[in-house]
């Protein structure tokens, strides 16, 4: 069975999770790459072992990765971030590929921060970019995640819009406005998925 996989991209706070959950209600199988990363960071998992091996024990406390301390260091050093990506992205992509292969679902929506060509980008059919101005992004992450401005700026500088996107939706208004725009994308996705399997 031919499967359609939509990638959902956007800066932090843009509304990727909201979009993914909305598309899930429409009938897509939603996969949150961040949750998979969380699983890989658990003790005994491949991601945990790789971080311990490459970055050392100083980022672990009581057998758990100190995510806050680790994030501050990694997002403050592009070289370390690149190493982390090289370690974790193949693991995330393989796990998502396995979920897709073992599922009977026909349409998938994958939320992720990075869709690099070698890994997640190679897995998806089309890409949705969620656009949102920087001031609104910071307002959301400072309220919802209690993120400090300094860390927000560091992370944002390391994120970028992918070179090629298939759909763009702006998330600056009401939830209904956002969902109305997503519905238009959903109609196109269904059409594409249907024609691919016809």
Q: Distance (Å, rounded) from C-alpha 12 to C-alpha 156?
A: 8
| Token pair 């691919």: residue | 196
pLDDT digits (tens, 9 = 90+) for 94-150: 999 999 999 999 999 999 988 988 899 999 999 999 999 999 999 999 988 888 898
Q: What is the pTM of this model?
A: 0.91
pLDDT of 198 higher than 60:
no
With CA atoms as reference, report the closest residue to 79 among 165, 162, 151, 158: 158
pLDDT of 194 higher than 70:
yes
Q: Other C-beta atoms within 10 Å of 8: how many?
A: 31
pLDDT of 195 higher than 60:
yes
Q: What is the pLDDT of residue 1?
A: 62
pLDDT of 172 higher than 90:
yes
Output the six-digit token pair for 12.
């932090």
What the chain holds in terms of domains, given with CATH numbers, is 4-191 (3.40.50.300)
Percent of the chain at pLDDT > 70 equals 98
């Amino acid at each position: 069975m031919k499967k359609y996989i939509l990638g959902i991209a956007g800066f932090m706070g843009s509304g990727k999770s909201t979009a993914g959950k909305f598309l899930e209600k429409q009938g897509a199988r939603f996969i949150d790459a961040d949750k998979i990363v969380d699983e890989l960071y658990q003790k005994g998992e491949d991601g945990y072992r790789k971080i311990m091996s490459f970055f050392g024990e100083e980022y672990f406390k009581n057998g758990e990765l100190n995510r806050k301390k680790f994030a501050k260091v990694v997002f403050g050093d592009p070289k370390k971030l690149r190493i982390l990506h090289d370690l974790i992205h193949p693991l995330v992509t393989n796990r998502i590929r396995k979920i897709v292969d073992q599922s009977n679902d026909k349409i998938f929506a994958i939320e992720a921060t990075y869709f690099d060509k070698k890994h997640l980008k190679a897995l998806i059919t089309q890409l949705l970019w969620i656009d949102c101005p920087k001031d609104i992004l910071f307002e959301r992450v400072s309220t919802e995640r209690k993120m400090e401005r300094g860390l927000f700026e560091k992370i944002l500088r390391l994120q970028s819009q992918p070179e090629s996107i298939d759909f763009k939706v702006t998330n600056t208004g009401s939830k209904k406005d956002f969902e109305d725009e997503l519905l238009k994308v959903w109609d196109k996705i269904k059409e594409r998925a249907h024609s691919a399997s016809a």
